């Protein structure tokens, strides 16, 4: 099948796992070079954080990888390595890998902008490292705040009802993932009361293992501090449109990119609308590039008619190359 418009999507925090990228790292020098470059920028061994066994065991190492300060650069580096591998293999096999647009879930938006030429890898790693640092720093100011996923397995969540409840219980809607999953954030006491109400209504609510109330107004101080990093970083006009988390608009201009990356730290992001925007603009294949298939599963819920592939290891790489050929 010939695909007319390929959309690349890149995962964010929560998709990390010990061993991600390991077989691609073993197989390709270009992947090892990417991890080495990231390590040089970060000042620590990012490959070790991703997949080398810890002398005290996987449990200790896993806890380390799940810390925001390490998670975000690790997922970025792994996702970018996956992209460079599929790009290289398509070139060697003379397969057309001309994607039309891209998007990334929260942190993944940086990878989308990177592969679309908005900045080079070193700049991207520096930005993500600073973002993770500031987010962690200001999350410590809110030890009693976090995020909670709200799921309705029976069908569609009523957006307006959830918004009204958020106002009543003084929590914030932070991510709209699919018609049946929304993430809210705020102080845990308020989230607890919110949870009780949802449970009565037959909804499922689960606290997420994150270090702070990401994408809520509580994180605005982190965004303000990060603004200087964005202003001082070289950002180019993107060669391919990136569908923004906050506005769901296609962004290519450096100033629009800076505003988007500033806003998304403390502003509600609408992943569902971003996916629908790509479909409305003709996307007939989604390829998730990076660890796990979290986004592919969301896309299936949003519109199961659009084919989905992924690249995270040698098995998925071979399968995707076969389908593209």
Q: Do domains 6-140+217-324 and 145-207 have the same CATH topology?
A: no
- 172-178: strand order across its sheet: 204-207, 145-151, 181-187, 172-178, 269-270
- pLDDT score of 94: 97
Domain spans, the chain: 6-140+217-324, 145-207
Distance CA 189, CA 207 (A): 12
Q: What are phi and psi of 175, to 5 degrees?
A: -140, 130
* Best mean pLDDT range from 59-68, 108-117, 208-217: 108-117
Residues in a beta bridge with 207: 148
Residues in a beta bridge with 9: 103, 288
Distance CA 103, CA 82 (A): 15
Segment holding 108, helix H or strand E: helix 108-115
Distance CA 171, CA 146 (A): 10
CA-based Rg of the chain, rounded to a whole angstrom? 19
* Measured CA distances, 298 to 49, 101, 292 (Å): 27, 18, 12
Distance CA 201, CA 196 (A): 9
Superfamily of domain 6-140+217-324 in CATH is: Malonyl-Coenzyme A Acyl Carrier Protein, domain 2 (3.40.366.10)
Neighbours of 322 (CB within 10 A): 9
Q: Which CATH class is domain 145-207?
A: alpha beta
Q: Which of 59, 66, 28, 33 is nearest to 47 (CA)?
A: 33
Distance CA 195, CA 68 (A): 25
How does strand 285-289 pair with strand 6-10?
parallel
pLDDT tens track for 183-202: 999 999 999 999 999 999 99
Query: If you search the block for the tokens 């520096």, which residue do you land on?
Result: 126
Are 82 and 309 in contact by the 8 Å Cβ rule? The answer is: no
- What's the predicted TM-score (pTM) here? 0.96
Neighbours of 279 (CB within 10 A): 18
The residues assigned a catalytic role are 106, 215
Neighbours of 284 (CB within 10 A): 17
**CA atoms in the 13 A half-sphere facing the CB of 79:** 37
- pLDDT score of 60: 47
Band (pLDDT 50/70/90 cuts) for residue 55 is: low
* Measured CA distances, 118 to 40, 79, 185, 271, 273 (Å): 21, 16, 30, 21, 22
- pLDDT score of 56: 55
Q: Where are the alpha helices (DSSP H) in 43-93?
A: 46-50, 58-65, 68-92
Mean pLDDT of the chain: 95
Q: Which two tokens stand for residue 71?
A: 């998670």
Q: Which two tokens stand for residue 254?
A: 């450096």
- pLDDT score of 61: 46
Does the pLDDT of residue 270 top 80, yes or no?
yes
- pLDDT score of 189: 97
Band (pLDDT 50/70/90 cuts) for residue 54 is: low
Mean pLDDT score, 249-268: 98
**Percent of the chain at pLDDT above 70?**
96
Does the pLDDT of residue 294 top 90, yes or no?
yes
Distance CA 270, CA 274 (A): 6
Does the pLDDT of residue 1 top 70, yes or no?
no
Band (pLDDT 50/70/90 cuts) for residue 64 is: confident
- pLDDT score of 51: 84
pLDDT tens track for 94-131: 999 999 999 999 999 999 999 999 999 999 999 999 99
């Amino acid at each position: 099948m010939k695909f007319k418009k390929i959309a690349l999507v890149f995962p964010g925090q929560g998709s990390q796992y010990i061993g991600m990228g390991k077989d691609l790292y073993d197989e390709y020098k270009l992947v090892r070079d990417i991890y080495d470059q990231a390590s040089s920028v970060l000042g620590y061994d990012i490959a070790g954080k991703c997949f080398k066994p810890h002398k005290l065991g996987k449990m200790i190492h896993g806890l380390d990888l799940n810390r925001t300060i390490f998670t975000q650069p690790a997922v970025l580096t792994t996702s970018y390595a996956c992209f460079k591998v599929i790009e290289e293999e398509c070139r060697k096999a003379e397969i057309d890998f001309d994607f039309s647009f891209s998007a990334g879930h929260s942190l993944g938006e940086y990878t989308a902008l990177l592969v679309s030429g908005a900045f080079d890898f070193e700049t991207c790693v520096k930005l993500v490292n600073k973002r993770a640092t500031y987010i962690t720093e200001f999350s410590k100011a809110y030890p009693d705040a976090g995020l909670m996923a709200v799921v309705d397995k029976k069908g569609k969540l009523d957006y307006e009802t959830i918004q009204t409840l958020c106002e009543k219980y003084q929590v914030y809607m932070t991510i709209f993932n699919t018609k049946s999953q929304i993430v809210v954030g705020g102080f845990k006491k308020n989230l607890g009361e919110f949870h009780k109400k949802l449970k009565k209504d037959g909804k499922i609510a689960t606290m997420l293992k994150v270090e702070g109330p990401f994408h809520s107004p509580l994180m605005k101080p982190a965004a303000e501090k990060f603004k200087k990093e964005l202003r001082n970083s070289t950002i180019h006009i993107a060669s391919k449109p990136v569908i923004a988390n906050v506005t769901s608009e296609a962004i290519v201009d450096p100033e629009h990119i800076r505003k988007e990356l500033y806003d998304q730290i403390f502003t509600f992001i609408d992943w569902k609308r971003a996916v629908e925007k790509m479909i409305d603009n003709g996307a007939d294949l989604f390829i998730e590039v990076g660890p796990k298939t979290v986004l592919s599963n969301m896309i299936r819920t949003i519109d199961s008619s659009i084919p989905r592939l992924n690249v995270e290891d040698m098995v998925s790489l071979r399968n995707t190359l076969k389908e593209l050929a």
